[in-house]
Chains A and B, each alone.
Chain A
Amino acid sequence: MAGKVKWVTDIEKSVLINNFEKRGWVQVTENEDWNFYWMSVQTIRNVFSVETGYRLSDDQIVNHFPNHYELTRKDLMVKNIKRYRKELEKEGSPLAEKDENGKYLYLDFVPVTYMLPADYNLFVEEFRKSPSSTWIMKPCGKAQGKGIFLINKLSQIKKWSRDSKTSSFVSQSNKEAYVISLYINNPLLIGGRKFDLRLYVLVSTYRPLRCYMYKLGFCRFCTVKYTPSTSELDNMFVHLTNVAIQKHGDDYNHIHGGKWMVSNLRLYLESTRGKEVTSKLFDEIHWIIVQSLKAVAVNASPSLTSSTANDRILKYNLINDTLNIVVPNGEIPDCKWNKSPPKEVLGNYEILYDEELAQGDGADRELRSRQGQSQGPRAGRSRDSGRTVLTTWK
């Protein structure tokens, strides 16, 4: 029965609503019969919490997986990755191979991290090994750069030691839980500035894992020149790239918002460092994303607020392409579908990983077409043989 898709949302953002309306979908309330609900994080929590016992019916789609908070909280994410690595090791998977120093060859993409206050003592031991290093403290449950700070002295995190020294029963409200990671103080700089990457990844199913990466991700630049000097540890404009923080700096520009398209990054790196190195970088980024997803790690609430005009256009198109993939042809969702959409609807997404395809013969070809460029001879590089193993490995 071809009816119109009925949608609900509790986030009043034009990039969403315009996309729904242009498809001729019908807006309903959450108490009515709905097919598509774009939920805020709070609502998701309520919907999927044990108490409410709410079950989605076969023709309903929501925009987050039930276990998403496993991924949005930094401590859970770290736990998941550590657990994932151990599992692979136990299974004897080649992915979990280590080098002579005990470092993972292919899965070493998270810096040394500890949970505070739980792992405080372990952390202190590690800290004492290299006392001149800098560490970054991030609150587990917050986003957009809130509450992050850098330390280089144990005294700066005394607070967390007190809690662990006292009795084992301490009411640890989640808000005070932090992760502390080794700070990488020699990041790649462009124009002398630090930047990070904001990439959009759509996961349509977990089993089998099917995910897509939006081609138009962007880099977010700090407005202030990077310096590893300890006197600037307090200056968040130097170290944190979140737009929410940078927005308040003196030099924030409202036309471009300190953002650069990833294609610019690629052009710059290819021009100044060569094609091989650049391709390797992007391959490794994709690799990290897929592995993290497998360990289950995704941020629950990307900002849908647009900071510049270009931004608004980007997010509108992003939602548009997203909807085209998850609700193809505007048909009412049916959970029994084979959810592999045809290539034409991908828009600006490209297939990051498709487990079903990976298990077939098309593995190598899939890898190549995803990267969109010729592979060239890669004989003597063991890293890549590891990669090809992945795509055929289930």
Chain B
Amino acid sequence: MLQEESDLSLIIAQIVQKLKGSNLYSQLERQAWASLQRPEIKLESLKEDIKEFFKISGWEKKLQNAVYGELSVFPLPSHPAAPPEHLKEPLVYMRKAQGSWEKRILKSLNSMCTELSIPLARKRPVGEQKELLNKWNEMGTDEPDLSLFRPVYAPKDFLEVLINLRNPNYENGDSLSFRTHLGLIQIPLKVKDIPELKECFVELGLNTGQLGIDDSTQVPPELFENEHVRIGQKVLAEQDSAAAQQYIRQGSPTALRAELWALILNISSEPEDVLYYEQLKTNVIQHDLLVDSLIYKDVKLTASNDDYYFVFEDYLYQVLLCFSRDTSVLSHFAYNSASPPKSYIRGKLGLEEYAVFYPPNGVIPFHGFSMYVAPLCFLYHEPSKLYQIFREMYVRFFFRLHSISSHPSGIVSLCLLFETLLQTYLPQLFYHLREIGAQPLRISFKWMVRAFSGYLATDQLLLLWDRILGYNSLEILAVLAAAVFAFRAVNLMEVTSLAAAEVMRNNRRIIIWCGIPVYTLLKLE
């Protein structure tokens, strides 16, 4: 008990420390000072009166939401004496693997730089700045020559790295047994099995109403939909993050989604936030970064050709270019196994005073990165709000999809979860696909890395992302991937090559509601 208590007080201390530097703290302070004017605040009972005032005025709720938000990203309690690397990633071999992966990426970036003789960063001449400012809302019409640029890496490159991951302390043994993992990932991480998943995702069970199934036109709205919408409106009225997160596990009504996500992610558009975004925009105007070209190329290759997202092309530039200049993103590296690439001012290699992070936000985009932003354009059309939501989604969830770690929501665990589910519950299918050289993970990897963006119709994708927010976990991606295979098991059994399996899977969109396959899978137990 003592240990738990001290764990708790440690967490509390850390959260207080974190919040002390936030905007909310200064707002609360100001409110407290201002409240002294109020007649109900008495000197004898100052503390209680101010607390009461906060409760009534809704500030307590805001504080609650902020604390709740911090808890959502807070790493699991660890020993107070643990070094900061453990917060990023406790397992040494994972840290090492991430480190060498990063070195490779950086090398690739640097060589592109040298080949093309383009600096990593340069200040724009005034004329160019003016031009860019004029074109800010239609950067999509710009046609810079991007033919020489190539994405720094694509998901399949990353997959190869993961396949080669090994725990040096673990001896698999050469002999095959029924316990041998047939998949590509050979790391002994703990992943949930179906009974555990069922317990975890209890709201996705057959006895609970779901949006996406129970609001179809065949089902009378009185049965579920109307009540669900009513509760959602109530949750929004209360402005309660925790309640919103619980509520959204059953899916969000379209009209309420934008607000609900903002509430769960604790995003409020204060003037300071808009100002901050404008500042980032100024940075973009003044300096040109090599990664900008990578971003352009990525958008042109992916979102511009997508029949759902092409409309929002210009928003994507406005968000992603600003994102790479945002140094506040650096703070998430405290709990990300990755580290921001460091670069040195010319001629000062190795001298820490001359080190800068490159890009300023420490995140190098890969092929398909812009697809993390695209679906959000359906919800937010105000650039600074869109920006804030994306940034928060990235530092809470998306970063885990392209860094090597042992976290249960990290991509390695997701791959393992996917393969284990398939092997355990659809062994015949798994074995067949493996035999024809079509390892299932090779097909589903890109779905998971992109959180299914571009692989599901937008309305279904948003329902899926509702659940990511609701359960504060990415495991649902692996479950959905496995469920898709389960759903198409019969057809897949007849496939005779990887290419054919790919074609079958890549009919531009997986046109089934994600819930149905999840049910299918959860019923397998």
A interface with B by C-beta (< 8 Å)? 190-193, 221, 224-225, 250-251, 253, 255-256, 258-261, 263-264, 267-268, 270-272, 274-275, 278, 310, 372-374
**With A264-B458, A374-B225 in contact, do A271 and B379 touch (Cβ < 8 Å)?**
yes
Alpha-carbon separation in the docked complex, A136 to B377 (Å):
32
User: Residue B354 at the A interface, CB < 8 A?
Assistant: no
User: Residue B198 at the A interface, CB < 8 A?
Assistant: no
**With A192-B138, A264-B308 in contact, do A271 and B378 touch (Cβ < 8 Å)?**
yes
Alpha-carbon separation in the docked complex, A270 to B307 (Å):
19
Q: Is the CB of B307 within 8 A of A268?
A: no
Select the stretch in B44-52, B249-257, B290-298, B399-407 that faces chain A: B249-257
Alpha-carbon separation in the docked complex, A169 to B13 (Å):
93
B205-254 interface (Cβ within 8 A of A): 217, 221-222, 225-226, 253-254
Q: Is the CB of A251 within 8 A of B141?
A: yes
Interface size on B, residues (CB 8 A): 33
State which of A190, A253, A278 has its C-beta within 8 Å of the C-beta of B305. A253
Closest to A193 in B: B311
Q: Is the CB of B221 within 8 A of A373?
A: yes
User: Residue B203 at the A interface, CB < 8 A?
Assistant: no
Alpha-carbon separation in the docked complex, A310 to B315 (Å):
25
Chain B facing A: main interface SS:
helix
Which 9 pairs show the lowest CB-CB distances between chains A and B?
A: A256-B307, A191-B311, A275-B255, A374-B221, A270-B254, A225-B138, A372-B217, A255-B305, A274-B255
B297-320 interface (Cβ within 8 A of A): 304-308, 310-315
Q: Is the CB of A272 within 8 A of B306?
A: no
State which of A251, A256, A275 has its C-beta within 8 Å of the C-beta of B306. A256
Alpha-carbon separation in the docked complex, A121 to B492 (Å):
71
**With A191-B315, A225-B137, A372-B217 in contact, do A271 and B258 touch (Cβ < 8 Å)?**
yes
B362-398 interface (Cβ within 8 A of A): 377-381
When distances are taken between beta carbons in the complex, the residues of chain A under 8 Å from B310 are: 253, 256, 258
Q: Is the CB of A255 within 8 A of B312?
A: no
Closest to A276 in B: B255
State which of A193, A272, A278 has its C-beta within 8 Å of the C-beta of B258. A272
When distances are taken between beta carbons in the complex, the residues of chain B under 8 Å from A221 are: 311
User: Residue B459 at the A interface, CB < 8 A?
Assistant: yes
When distances are taken between beta carbons in the complex, the residues of chain A under 8 Å from B226 are: 374
B interface with A by C-beta (< 8 Å)? 137-138, 140-141, 143, 217, 221-222, 225-226, 253-255, 257-258, 304-308, 310-315, 377-381, 458-459
Closest to A251 in B: B141
25 contacts between A and B (CB under 8 A): A191-B311, A191-B312, A191-B313, A191-B377, A192-B137, A192-B138, A225-B137, A225-B138, A225-B314, A256-B305, A256-B306, A258-B310, A259-B307, A260-B307, A260-B308, A264-B308, A264-B378, A267-B459, A271-B257, A271-B258, A272-B378, A275-B253, A275-B255, A372-B217, A373-B217
Q: How far is the CB of B112 from chain A (nearest CB, A)?
A: 27
Additional pairs, 6, CB under 8 Å, beyond known A193-B311, A255-B305: A256-B310, A261-B307, A267-B254, A275-B254, A374-B225, A374-B226
When distances are taken between beta carbons in the complex, the residues of chain B under 8 Å from A192 are: 137-138, 314
Closest to A264 in B: B308
Q: How far is the CB of B245 from chain A (nearest CB, A)?
A: 19
When distances are taken between beta carbons in the complex, the residues of chain A under 8 Å from B377 are: 191
Alpha-carbon separation in the docked complex, A224 to B305 (Å):
16
Alpha-carbon separation in the docked complex, A272 to B137 (Å):
19
Alpha-carbon separation in the docked complex, A191 to B380 (Å):
11
Q: Is the CB of A190 within 8 A of B311?
A: yes
Closest to B226 in A: A374
Alpha-carbon separation in the docked complex, A113 to B138 (Å):
33
When distances are taken between beta carbons in the complex, the residues of chain B under 8 Å from A259 are: 307
When distances are taken between beta carbons in the complex, the residues of chain B under 8 Å from A373 are: 217, 221
Closest to A274 in B: B255
When distances are taken between beta carbons in the complex, the residues of chain B under 8 Å from A255 are: 305, 307
Closest to A272 in B: B381
Alpha-carbon separation in the docked complex, A261 to B508 (Å):
15
Alpha-carbon separation in the docked complex, A221 to B458 (Å):
19
Q: Is the CB of B254 within 8 A of A271?
A: yes
State which of B221, B258, B307, B311 has its C-beta within 8 Å of the C-beta of A310. B307
Q: How far is the CB of B237 from chain A (nearest CB, A)?
A: 15
Q: How far is the CB of B4 from chain A (nearest CB, A)?
A: 42
Alpha-carbon separation in the docked complex, A224 to B135 (Å):
12
When distances are taken between beta carbons in the complex, the residues of chain B under 8 Å from A268 are: 378
When distances are taken between beta carbons in the complex, the residues of chain A under 8 Å from B255 are: 270-271, 274-275, 278
When distances are taken between beta carbons in the complex, the residues of chain B under 8 Å from A190 are: 311
Alpha-carbon separation in the docked complex, A274 to B379 (Å):
11
Q: How far is the CB of A351 from chain B (nearest CB, A)?
A: 13
Closest to B312 in A: A191
Alpha-carbon separation in the docked complex, A171 to B422 (Å):
78
When distances are taken between beta carbons in the complex, the residues of chain A under 8 Å from B221 are: 373-374
When distances are taken between beta carbons in the complex, the residues of chain A under 8 Å from B222 are: 374
When distances are taken between beta carbons in the complex, the residues of chain B under 8 Å from A258 are: 310
Q: How far is the CB of A309 from chain B (nearest CB, A)?
A: 9
Q: Is the CB of A263 within 8 A of B307?
A: no
Alpha-carbon separation in the docked complex, A363 to B258 (Å):
35
Q: How far is the CB of B465 from chain A (nearest CB, A)?
A: 12
Alpha-carbon separation in the docked complex, A272 to B225 (Å):
20
Alpha-carbon separation in the docked complex, A268 to B140 (Å):
21
Alpha-carbon separation in the docked complex, A268 to B458 (Å):
10
Closest to B222 in A: A374
Closest to B311 in A: A191
When distances are taken between beta carbons in the complex, the residues of chain A under 8 Å from B379 are: 271-272
Q: How far is the CB of B263 from chain A (nearest CB, A)?
A: 15
Q: Is the CB of B378 within 8 A of A191?
A: no
Closest to A261 in B: B307
Closest to B254 in A: A270
Alpha-carbon separation in the docked complex, A308 to B378 (Å):
24
In this complex, the member of B137, B226, B308 whose beta carbon has the largest number of chain A beta carbons within 10 angstroms is B308
Alpha-carbon separation in the docked complex, A191 to B379 (Å):
12
In this complex, the member of B257, B307, B313, B380 whose beta carbon has the largest number of chain A beta carbons within 10 angstroms is B307
When distances are taken between beta carbons in the complex, the residues of chain A under 8 Å from B315 are: 191
Alpha-carbon separation in the docked complex, A239 to B253 (Å):
34
Alpha-carbon separation in the docked complex, A362 to B378 (Å):
37
When distances are taken between beta carbons in the complex, the residues of chain A under 8 Å from B314 are: 191-192, 225
Q: How far is the CB of A346 from chain B (nearest CB, A)?
A: 13
